[in-house]
Structure 1
Amino acid sequence: MAKYGSSSLAKKEQQLAYKLLLPAFIILILIAFYPLGQVFYTSLTDKTFATTKETHFIGLENYKELLGITIKELKPIIDEETGEQKIDPRTGKPQYQRPIRVLPRRPRLYRPLSQFQIFGKRFVIGASNPDFISSIWNTLVFTVLSVLLETILGLGIALVVNSKFKGRGVVRAVMLVPWAVITVVSARMWQWMLEPTRIGLFNTVFDKLGIGDGNIAFLSTPELQLPSLIMVDVWKTTPFMALLLLAGLQLIPDELYEAADVDGASKLRQFFSITLPLLKPSLAVALVFRTLDALRVFDIFQVILAQKRYSMASFNYYQLINARNMGLASAIGVIIFILIFIFAIVYIRMLGVDADD
């Protein structure tokens, strides 16, 4: 009888819990799931932003437009007189067919994205939307390099400010200044410093040091664009990583280091045997938060490079605001959501972030 009464009470408590949670579930559905579902549906249409044009359901055409990729072989150009492959007189390299000659034009137009050579044959990679494919690559490179540098530098800063020295509180406050600056403001500031003439700080300093001619186009040269953006992001976000890692260092008991000193362990041995293992949960959480934030990077690309080079988020903005292609922009948003969701699940499992940590 007592068992039955206990079971009945547990069921009533469970029902009460569901009733109390019901308002939260309704609000969550209204502010999260409904808009997300609306974006998914819009991505399957040709809807145009801010217009009265009739909307049609087009299925997966937006996704095919964004992710359409093909690879075609480029045939060498043969000299009819000698029967040998022609050589470009300007570059001295063998000549091949123009990519536009071999890439499909139907059912959609493919444009050249890049070329590669393997087993003596040359191939061209074509994309129906090369700007979006490039934006994926730009975002991934930016994420990997910026997060790696921010983690290394942030850990170094956290170790320094965690040690005891005079003025430690002031140093901890000052290190947060770059992170406190609004991203748009810091982007404009760095844009001035990266000016392609001696007006820019870096060109002025390099000119004084005899490096370059004082006219290095950091933001116009394709090879320097991503490194410049990574440098800006590292300057701004490293303090955030340092702050998260400092919080983790504060949780490590001092008694462990005192015992290690008694045993004669060096500082390097203490770092790898005590600090790094015990810092792993905080480091994993910091990496997850920072990486997912970097995958959604928008402001730095948009403010500094605009349409010179896209991230996934800035290309989404361009399609929605400039091109007014709301269907395509929604499809980009869905792709970003899926990529980040998959990345988050894999990343969390690899880093071992769980409830026990």
Structure 2
Amino acid sequence: MSQKSSMSELAKKEQRTAYKLLIPTMLILLLVAFYPLAQVFVTSFTNKRFASSQKTEFVGLRNYRKLLGVTVKKLEPQVNPDTGKVKVDSETGEKVYKPAYEALPSEPFLYEKLFTVGFFGNKYVVGASDADFMSAIKNTLIYTIVAVTLETIIGLIIALTVNSNFKGRGAMRAIMLVPWAVITVVSAEIWAWMLEPNRMGLFNTVGDMLGITEGQINFLGDPSLQLPSLIAVDVWKTTPFMALLILAGLQLIPQSLYEAARVDGASKVRQFFTITLPLIKPAIGVALIFRTLDTLRAFGVFQVLLGDRVYSLATYNYFQLIGNREMGLASAIGVVIFIFIAIFAYAYIQGLGVDVE
């Protein structure tokens, strides 16, 4: 009993020592991270303007209501004044509705049309008090989910390849990091040249030479190709980073596990799903958190390639802060980005067991 008591006292002493050693780190975090974050939260509830002498006032949730406000308005069918009957399209046979107004009057904000939707024979127009912000959320989420998924799959394949024994493996590991080493703005400018909408661009030139296209594809001008083009740029640049983190996890797996599996007659596929994948889950989780954090804050690629034609959350934040000098509104956007990052990080930690393993 006395031995257990002494062990318990020793554990408590070690715990107290650990807490004391963490004090400097916590103070630094409070200074460089938590304090600025708290300031952003506080500013998001004000009407503060950037580089302005205007008096700052507390406005509560106004900034958030302006960003996230959505309204639904039922559209009334058009009626022929002569017959009193609802107008019907002669070609489609469908009812003709009154115009889906681009601006829907609603206090205290003006709502812009997002889209129209049919429901139980009725038609509704869905509007947002800030349609650009809603579009930025959509663009950022699509960009994040598709890019991170592709980077994880391709990165895993590359990591498994360079983790095997073959001649020139060291050189291959060094070469694969070249795209990651290129500065984001520089890589975006390189891709801007390759994506030129005429034969000055690499892809249009190659497509024309091979007879696949006419060399006039407007990658950055066609709305259906804009996000895929940005995703391609991000996948090219950051897949090596994912591969490197996953490779680090692969290196920690003892070879004795594979030897025992081979003795038991397990195939390569079975070894992957029963040994490799479960043991690299923490590494994949860390890689996903890092990459998701980066893509949710994507700025350089959007800004260089598309400017204000297509917004991400980060570029729209920049537009509100620098272009409109709406510091309070920009802070609210920053809080929304933080919330998205927290949700994704929590989902990864819970889903992949990063906190346990």
The TM-score with structure 2 as length reference comes to: 0.89
User: In the TM superposition, what is the alpha-carbon distance from 1:108 to its structure 2 partner?
Assistant: 1.2
Q: Aligned partners of 2:103 and 2:51: how far apart in 1?
A: 38
Aligned residue type for 1:297: A
The DSSP-based 3-state class of the residue aligned with 1:125 is strand
For structure 1, the 5+ residue unaligned runs are none
- The answer on whether the counterparts of 2:103 and 2:110 sit within 8 Å (CA) in structure 1 is no
Superposition deviation, residue 191 in structure 1: 0.9
CA offsets 1:317-338 (integer angstroms, 9 cap, x no match)? 1110111111111111112112
CA apart distance, 1:256: 2.6
What is the DSSP-based 3-state SS (H/G/I as helix, E as strand, rest coil) of the residue aligned with 1:39?
helix
Contact 1:78–1:86 (CA<8 Å) still a contact in 2? no
| 2:71 is the alignment partner of 1:70 | yes
Cα–Cα, structure 1 residues 8 and 261, in superposed 2: closer, same or farther, change >3 Å?
closer
Structure 2 residue 6 is matched with structure 1 residue 28: no
CA contact (8 A) 1:195 1:201 kept: yes
| CA displacement 1:66-91 (0-9 Å, x = unmatched) | 111111122222344563434388x9
Q: In structure 1, what is the Cα distance between the partners aligned to 2:206 and 2:13?
A: 73
**Paired AA for residue 228 in structure 1:** S
Structure 1 window deviating more from structure 2 (129-138 vs 251-260): it is 251-260
Matched, 1:241 2:242: yes
Equivalence for 1:175: 176
Q: 1:8 to 1:203 in 2, by over 3 A?
A: closer
Distance of aligned partners of 1:14 and 1:265 in 2 relative to their CA distance in 1, 3 Å threshold: closer
Instruction: After TM superposition, give the deviation of residue 53 of structure 1 in Å.
Output: 2.1
Give the Å deviation of 1:188: 0.6
- Return the alpha-carbon distance in structure 1 between the equivalents of residues 179 and 100 of structure 2: 46
Distance 2:72 2:305 in 1: 33
Distance 1:248 1:22, change over 3 A: closer
**Cα distance in 1 for residues equivalent to 2:333 and 2:69:** 13
Change (3 A) 1:17 1:69: same
The reply on whether 1:292 has 2:269 as its aligned counterpart is no
2:344 aligns to what SS in structure 1? helix
Q: 1:135 to 1:85 in 2, by over 3 A?
A: same
Q: Confirm or deny: 8 A CA contact 1:296 1:312 kept in the other structure.
A: yes
Q: Does 1:343 align with 2:344?
A: yes
Corresponding residue for residue 133 of structure 2: 132
Q: Does 1:265 align with 2:266?
A: yes
Structure 1 equivalent of residue 161 of structure 2: 160
Q: Alpha-carbon deviation of 1:129?
A: 0.4
- Residue of structure 2 equivalent to 1:325: 326
Compared CA separation, residues 234 and 101, structure 1 to 2 (3 A): closer
Post-superposition shift, 1:18?
A: 6.1
User: What is the count of residue pairs matched by the alignment?
Assistant: 353
Alignment correspondent of 1:87:
89
Identity among equivalent pairs (%): 62
Q: Is the 8 A contact 2:285 2:348 kept in 1?
A: no
Letter of the 1:87 counterpart: D
AA at the equivalent of 1:58: V
CA shift, 1:293, in A, is: 2.0
* Whole-Å separation in 1 of the counterparts to 2:61 and 2:119: 33
Give distance in 2, aligned partners of 1:25 and 1:140. Answer: 32
Gap change, CA 1:8 and 1:164, over 3 Å in 2: closer
Amino acid at match of 1:104: P
Whether contact under 8 Å (1:161, 1:172) holds in the other structure is yes
Task: Please give the root-mean-square deviation of Cα atoms over the aligned residues, in Å.
Answer: 2.8
**Residues 196, 218 of structure 1: 8 Å contact kept:** yes
Partners of 1:186 and 1:101 lie apart in 2 by 38
Q: Is the 8 A contact 1:48 1:325 kept in 2?
A: yes
Counterpart-to-counterpart distance in 1, 2:87 and 2:210: 47
CA distance in 2: counterparts of 1:10 and 1:259, whole angstroms: 37
**Equivalents in 1 of 2:278, 2:347: separation in Å?**
21
Contact 1:88 1:94 in 2 (8 A): no
Aligned-pair CA distance for 1:105 = 3.2
TM-score (norm 1): 0.89
CA distance in structure 2 between the aligned counterparts of 1:157 and 1:249, rounded to whole angstroms = 12
Residue aligning to 1:185: 186
**Aligned-pair CA distance for 1:61:** 0.9
Assess, with a 3 A threshold, how the Cα gap between structure 1 residues 27 and 98 changes in structure 2: closer, same or farther: same
CA 1:262–1:33 in 2, change beyond 3 Å: closer, same or farther?
Answer: closer
